[in-house]
Amino acid sequence: MDIAAAALAGDRRALSRLLSWVENGTVAGHAALAQLFPQTGEAHVVGITGAPGAGKSTLVNQLAREIRERGQKLAIVAVDPTSPYSGGALLGDRLRMRALSTDTGVFMRSMASRGDAGGMAHATRDVVSVLDAVGYPLILVETVGAGQSQVEVACMAHTVVLVEAPGMGDDIQALKAGLMEIADIIVVNKADKPEARQTVRALQSVRPGMRSEGHHRVSVREEKQVAAEVATGWEVPILQTSALENRGLEELLAALEAHRDFLKESGQWRARLQENARAEVESWLQRHLLALLADEVGEARLTAVVDTVRRRENDPASAAQELLAAILAAAGGAR
Ligand SMILES: Nc1nc2c(ncn2[C@@H]2O[C@H](COP(=O)(O)OP(=O)(O)OP(=O)(O)O)[C@@H](O)[C@H]2O)c(=O)[nH]1
Ligand SMILES: [Mg+2]
């Protein structure tokens, strides 16, 4: 039996090995992905993002436990080189974690560190595809780090959960990081702390349309936000959890399910599959073209053309067109 078939049949070691191949972009990994691709598109992919230390890992861990208690399977992908998952233990929660790590209904994977954010996004998307194909109906993807990787997660996730925590100063971290726009669900974690209420209020004041806000203030930003909500039809809920005290998890799970159902019923699930399919095809097309450029035209010619742009003898668009013509000529000649 080949590795993809073994992974499909539930062999966890085969799955681990396959994920490594895929992560490293090996030829065998690509072949397996191609074989598994027809089975993808079913999983609900949830991105969990937010400032360092907000409690994302603890929350994911508790969510996983709650989901397992309901008898549902899930996979967890940690896009963070410092993540504790691979060691099999989360600080302060070793026992529970051990219980999870011997449970075959949950699969955890830490992405190895990548030099560039783009490479990481590619590798993560492929890992998620494999987990989707082998039948995990829910995939939680935890990311940390500066803006870019978080925004990329949003592109691959159906639902983005933004985790905020109180006591990080008066500011809302996500506002500074420009993350409010990508959130489908906002969670104020560490709700066991008294300052949490202040954080919730601060979030509500930048989040109009919330029922709990008694009056209606109108600013340009609020109008834009309302317009966005009308356009998508989804009102972003602000929830409170305490991963430490195990509170608010049921409400969070209910919100995840509600958002998935909303996406499916409104047709946005299908629209997103279409968008993702297009983005991936275009991204591969770009890679293939760049590979052709390197193979058929060569670095020396590329450098020469780039030099003409630097010297302002040529403009970038014309230079690209010239190179494309050279690729087409070379590829045509090869046929
Ligand atoms: N009081 C309180 N502390 C919490 C809660 N959830 C997590 N913590 C603590 O917050 C700290 C950070 O938790 P993590 O789960 O590692 O946070 P994270 O967001 O995954 O952090 P990074 O992965 O480093 O970005 C740990 O000391 C946790 O024990 C909570 O609900 N209440
Ligand atoms: Mg973490």
Instruction: Confirm whether 15 is domain-assigned.
Output: no
Enumerate residues 6+ apart whose C-beta is below 8 A from 166.
Answer: 188, 190, 193, 195, 196, 198, 199
Residue 58 alpha carbon, nearest atom of ligand 1: 15
Q: Each residue of 70-98: pLDDT tens digit?
A: 999 999 998 865 544 443 334 334 445 55
Pair (240, 143) in one structural domain: yes
Q: Do residues 197 and 303 both lie within one domain? A: no
Residue 167 Cβ < 6 Å to ligand 1:
no
242 lines ligand 1 (CB under 6 A): yes
Q: Give me the domain span that covers residue 121.
A: 40-266
**How far does the centroid of ligand 2 lie from the alpha carbon of residue 310, in Å?**
44
* Gap between the Cα atoms of 10 and 5, Å rounded: 9
pLDDT reported for residue 93: 44
CB 62 within 8 A of CB 140: no
Residue 205: its pLDDT value, please?
81
Q: What averages of pLDDT result for each successive group of 10 residues across the chain (335 residues)?
A: 90 94 92 94 93 89 93 90 44 49 83 69 89 96 70 82 80 64 91 92 70 44 59 88 95 97 94 86 88 92 96 97 93 69
Q: What is the pLDDT of residue 283?
A: 84
* Ligand 1 atom, smallest distance to 78 CA: 23
Task: Please tell me whether residues 260 and 321 are part of one structural domain.
Answer: no
Residues 167 and 208 in one domain: yes
* pLDDT for position 94: 46
Specify the pLDDT at position 223.
60
Of 49, 58, 240, 245, the one to substitute when testing ligand 1's pocket (max ligand atoms within 8 A of C-beta) is: 58
Residue that is last in its domain, among 210, 241, 266: 266
256/312 same-domain check: no
Token duo for residue 125: 């998307």
pLDDT digits (tens, 9 = 90+) for 246-274: 999 999 999 999 999 999 999 999 988 89
Pocket flag, ligand 1, residue 58 (CB < 6 Å): yes
Domain shared by 106 and 52, yes or no: yes
Tell me how far CA of residue 326 lies from CA of 145, 285, 287, 297, in angstroms: 40, 17, 17, 7
Strands 44-50 and 159-164: parallel
Quote the CA–CA distance of 222 and 53 in Å, as a whole number.
Answer: 29
Question: Which pTM does this prediction carry?
Answer: 0.82
Cα–Cα distance between 279 and 99 in angstroms, integer?
39
Helix (H, G, I), strand (E, B) or coil at 206: helix
Check if 244 has its Cβ closer than 6 Å to any atom of ligand 1: yes
Q: How far apart are CA 8 and CA 304, in angstroms?
A: 49
Residue 284 has, within 13 A of its CA and on its CB side, a CA count of 9
Q: Are residues 180 and 257 both part of a single domain?
A: yes
- Phi and psi (nearest 5°) for 162? -100, 120
CATH number, residue 170? 3.40.50.300
Counting the structural domains of the chain, the total is 2
The amino acid that residue 69 corresponds to is E
Q: How far apart are CA 321 and CA 323, in angstroms?
A: 5
